Chains A and B, each alone.
Chain A
Amino acid sequence: QKEVEQDPGPLSVPEGAIVSLNCTYSNSAFQYFMWYRQYSRKGPELLMYTYSSGNKEDGRFTAQVDKSSKYISLFIRDSQPSDSATYLCAISPGGSQGNLIFGKGTKLSVKP
């Protein structure tokens, strides 16, 4: 079993839809959870960063962590064509945070 599992998609939604992106992880010791957005031919860009279980909201984005289920989610409200990108979950065991473990990424397309 991989340490972080993420459905690669692709996922296609109409503009204005609510998007749900998910990852599962295997090690209950993981402490820090991040979502990155990556546009084609660009580096990953940090979207959300959470530590505890629960929800964290930033504009149209909500990150959710359920440590008991080892499940993390990113919700995008009122999706826009500019949200079309690959979304990567990343998990850190904690401590140095040197070794971020990434999911494969989910490719999202928002159609106007």
Chain B
Amino acid sequence: DTGVSQDPRHKITKRGQNVTFRCDPISEHNRLYWYRQTLGQGPEFLTYFQNEAQLEKSRLLSDRFSAERPKGSFSTLEIQRTEQGDSAMYLCASSRGQGNSPLHFGNGTRLTVT
């Protein structure tokens, strides 16, 4: 169990640019989740995958955001035309997807939009 891995750890970008983050879940976990956390707040759910299928999306996930998990392993989260309000920590988590298995989080990607 090597844990959930996220890359990059930090990303600074200018407003209007596109950014992409990667998440590698724990290998035997078939569920993968994306959350966003801003300073002083708890994580907010964005979306989750069961294998390669995206099963749930939050209303927070605007059309500038897209997530994929093409082979049911790693996932990418892309933000197009970034805005300053997108600055946050983007957290990935995974779980076994059996019953209500607990979520295991990575250390996140911190995005700063200037």
Q: A98 contacts B31, CB within 8 Å? A: yes
Check: B30 CB closer than 8 A to any chain A CB: no
Residues of B within 8 A of A45 (CB): 105
Check: B42 CB closer than 8 A to any chain A CB: yes
Task: State which size class the interface on B falls in.
Answer: 20 to 34
In the assembled complex, the Cα of A101 lies from the Cα of B101 at a distance in Å of 15
Which chain A residues numbered 1 to 56 have a C-beta less than 8 Å away from chain B? Answer: 4, 6, 8, 31-32, 34, 36, 41-46, 49, 51
Residues of A within 8 A of B91 (CB): 43-44
Q: B4 contacts A105, CB within 8 Å? A: no
Q: A43 contacts B42, CB within 8 Å? A: no
Which chain B residues numbered 92 to 107 have a C-beta less than 8 Å away from chain A? Answer: 93, 95, 100-107
Residues of B within 8 A of A101 (CB): 45
In the assembled complex, the Cα of A51 lies from the Cα of B100 at a distance in Å of 10
Q: A92 contacts B45, CB within 8 Å? A: no
What residues make up the interface of A, taking CB atoms closer than 8 Å to B? 4, 6, 8, 31-32, 34, 36, 41-46, 49, 51, 88, 90, 92, 94, 96-105
Identify 16 residue pairs between A and B in the complex whose beta-carbon atoms are under 8 Å apart, listed by A's number.
A32-B100, A34-B102, A42-B107, A43-B105, A45-B105, A46-B103, A46-B104, A88-B42, A94-B100, A96-B48, A97-B100, A98-B56, A99-B48, A101-B45, A104-B42, A105-B40
What residues make up the interface of B, taking CB atoms closer than 8 Å to A? 4, 31, 33, 35, 40-45, 48, 55-56, 58, 91, 93, 95, 100-108, 110
